[in-house]
Amino acid sequence: MKMTRIFRTIMLALFLTIFGQSMMVPRSYGQCTNGASQADLDLWATHNCWWDFVLWQYKAYRMFSGEWGSSGFFDACNLNLPFAKAVNASYLVTYGLSDNYNYQWHGTIDYRKAAEAWSSSTHNQITYKISSNRNWFAMADCSAKATTMGCLLFDFGQFSNNPAARAGDYMHESWHHWDCKHGYDPSHMNGPVGACTLGGSSCDWYYWHGVGAYDFGQMDQYTSDGRYFHSPNQVQVEFLCDVAECAAGFVPASVKICAKTEANQRLSSRFRNAVGYRCGDPRPW
Contacts with another protein in 138-177 (CB under 8 A)? 138-139, 142-143, 145, 150, 152, 157, 159-160, 162, 165, 169, 172-173
Q: How many Å apart are CA 233 and CA 89, to the nearest integer?
A: 18
Q: Which is nearer to another protein, 26 or 66 (CB)?
A: 66
Binding residue (CB under 8 A) for another protein from 70, 72, 85, 262: 262
Q: How many Å apart are CA 197 and CA 203, to the nearest integer?
A: 8
Query: CB-based burial of residue 10 (10 Å sphere; 0-12 exposed, 13-18 middle, 19+ buried)?
Result: exposed
Binding residue (CB under 8 A) for another protein from 181, 193, 217, 218: 181
Q: Which is nearer to another protein, 28 or 77 (CB)?
A: 77
With beta carbons less than 8 A apart as the criterion, state whether 172 and 236 touch: yes
| Span between the terminal Cα atoms of the chain, in Å | 68
- Identify the DSSP state of 55: H
Print the binding letters for residues 88-127 with another protein: x by CB under 8 A, - otherwise. Answer: ------xx----x-xx--------xx--x-xxx---xx--
Q: How many Å apart are CA 205 and CA 224, to the nearest integer?
A: 14
How far apart are CB 39 and another protein at their closest, in Å? 4
Q: Which is nearer to another protein, 31 or 124 (CB)?
A: 124
How far apart are CB 112 and another protein at their closest, in Å? 7
Q: What residues between 213 and 232 interact with another protein by CB under 8 A?
A: 222, 224-226, 229, 232
- Identify the DSSP state of 183: T
With beta carbons less than 8 A apart as the criterion, state whether 192 and 198 touch: yes
| 277 contributes a contact to another protein by CB under 8 A | yes
Q: Which is nearer to another protein, 106 or 172 (CB)?
A: 172
Neighbours of 139 (CB within 10 A): 17
Region binding another protein by CB under 8 A among candidate stretches 26-34, 79-87, 245-253: 245-253
Q: What residues between 27 and 56 interact with another protein by CB under 8 A?
A: 37-39, 42, 45-53, 55-56
**Amino acid in the structure at residue 160:** S
How far apart are CB 28 and another protein at their closest, in Å? 18
Q: How many Å apart are CA 228 and CA 184, to the nearest integer?
A: 14
Q: How many Å apart are CA 240 and CA 8, to the nearest integer?
A: 55
How far apart are CB 9 and another protein at their closest, in Å? 5
Number of residues this chain uses to bind another protein (CB under 8 A): 133
